[in-house]
Amino acid sequence: MSIELLSALVTGAALFGVGVYGALSQTNLVMIMMGVELMLAGALVNLVAFWRFLHPDTPAGQMFVLIVMTVMAVEMAVGFGVAIARFRARGSVEMEEASELKG
Amino acid sequence: MISAQGLFIAFFGLAAVCFGVAVFRTSSMVRSALALLFSQTAIGAMFLSMQAEFLGVLQIMMMATEMSIMAIFMVMFMMDPGGLGKMEMTHQKGLSLISGSIAFMAAVAVAVFVDWGPGGASPPDAARQTRELGIELLGRSMLIFETAGITILTAMIAATAVAIQPLKRSGDR
């Protein structure tokens, strides 16, 4: 395995780890979304690294990256829609105050 | 011996991770959004270093827009957007830190111990890459591409429907 691939994969792993920490530790909906964005960014780095260092002649690898970017945009659109609805209903997007969502 | 490409990947990767950590370390929401923007831009620069020119430029353009919108939302919705009140906006920090560390170490272990096989040759030039990607998207992967398009359209409509203010009837107070 090349050192370039390893450094890209370690970066992806670090971004994923930071994203997991952010998504679990933050109480605000928008900050939680930032954590999820970082986790998806880690996946993006890995996909591009696999395409570049293992299968550079296969354009399907880049297509996967576009699909993950779509997922990021969908997450933002739905997340902000929910944030606006929640803010309008309760005046806050603090998830500590959303205990009624518990099953 | 590490190549120039490897150095650039390591440098931008380190920058992306440092800015990613800064997102959750600052108490100002605008700084937080800007740190995420810089982190995503560093990832775009990493893509450029890995000779994925189209994806790198797309990442930088898309994230610049996305994070600007996110900064506006954060200022609108946070109780203390400037971070001047030093409000505590975290919970279960220890557990989150352990989960994040486990996720990181597991991913690194997979990266190190899996045999990824022989590396590929050098990629085609930027123009040919974009052409091949276009042919892939509108050929073999057309169904997946169209599904992504429909999904994002549905999400936009759903988000607008959720966010729109409900009409008040004449009898409501």
Best CA proximity match to B53, nearest among B144, B133, B142? B133
Closest to A31 (Cβ–Cβ): which among B76, B89, B97?
B89
Average pLDDT over residues B64-83: 76
- Domain A3-101 is of which CATH architecture? Orthogonal Bundle (1.10)
Q: Is B52 on the interface with A (CB under 8 A)?
A: yes
B109-134: string of b/e by CB count within 10 Å (b at 16+)?
eebeeeeeeeebeebeeeeebbebbe
- This prediction has a pTM of 0.90
Q: Which two tokens stand for residue A43?
A: 């996946």
CA A57 to chain centre: 27
Say yes or no: B26 contacts chain A, CB-CB below 8 A.
Answer: no
Query: Given this model, what pLDDT does residue B87 score?
Result: 64
Contacts (Cβ under 8 Å, ≥6 apart) of A13: A42, B103, B104, B107, B108, B111
Kindly report, residue by residue over A37-72, the tens digit of the pLDDT.
999 999 999 999 999 999 888 888 889 899 999 988
In chain B, the percentage of residues whose pLDDT exceeds 70 is 90
Q: Which residues pair with B90 in a beta bridge?
A: A26
Question: CB-based contacts of B126: which residues, under 8 Å, 6+ apart?
Answer: B51, B53, B54
* B69 lies within 8 A of chain A by CB: yes
Kindly state the percentage of chain A with pLDDT values over 90.
38
Residue B44 near residue B60, CB atoms below 8 Å? yes
Domain boundaries, chain A: 3-101
Which pLDDT score is estimated for B81? 64
HSE-up of B112 (CA within 13 Å, CB side)?
9
What whole-number percentage of chain B has pLDDT above 90?
Answer: 42
Q: Does the pLDDT value for residue A31 go beyond 80?
A: yes
- What is the pLDDT at residue B63? 87
State whether the Cα torsion A60-A42-A40-B35 is positive or negative: negative
The structure tokens listed for B94 are: 């220890």
Average pLDDT of span B161-168: 80
Q: Among A15-24, B9-18, B69-78, which stretch is predicted with the lowest mean pLDDT? A: B69-78
Distance CA A8, CA B16 (A): 11
Task: Judge: B46–A30 Cβ closer than 8 Å, yes or no.
Answer: no
Percent of chain A at pLDDT above 70?
Answer: 99
